[in-house]
Amino acid sequence: MSSINGAVLVLSGPSGAGKSSLIHKIMDDIGECYFSISTTTRPIREGEKDGVDYYFVDEEEFKREIEEDQFLEYAIVHGNYYGTSLKPVKKALSKGKLVIFDIDVQGNSAISSRLGEITTSVFITPPTLSELQKRLQNRHTDAKEVIERRVKMARREIQRVSEYEYLLVNDDLDKAANKLHLIAKIARFKKSNEEINEFVQKWEDL
pLDDT tens, 159-171? Answer: 999 999 999 999 9
| Residue 115 within any structural domain of the chain | yes
- Global pTM reads 0.84
In a domain, 144, yes or no: yes
How many domains are there within the chain? 1
Per the domain annotation, does 160 fall within a domain?
yes
**CATH label of the domain that carries residue 179:** 3.40.50.300
Q: Is residue 143 part of a domain?
A: yes
Mean per-residue pLDDT of the chain: 90
Give the whole-angstrom CA distance, residue 40 versus residue 66: 12
Tell me which residue range forms the domain holding 16: 7-36+97-201
Does residue 73 lie within any of the structural domains? no
Q: Is residue 43 part of a domain?
A: no
SS3 per residue for 94-161: HCCCEEEEECCHHHHHHHHHHHHHHEEEEEEECCCHHHHHHHHHHHCCCCHHHHHHHHHHHHHHHHHH
User: Is residue 64 a part of any domain in this protein?
Assistant: no
Mean pLDDT per 10-residue interval, the chain, length 206 residues: 76 92 92 92 90 92 94 86 90 94 89 92 96 88 85 93 97 96 94 87 81
Residue 107 lies in a domain: yes
Evaluate whether 184 touches 98 at the Cβ level (below 8 Å): yes
pLDDT of amino acid 1: 45
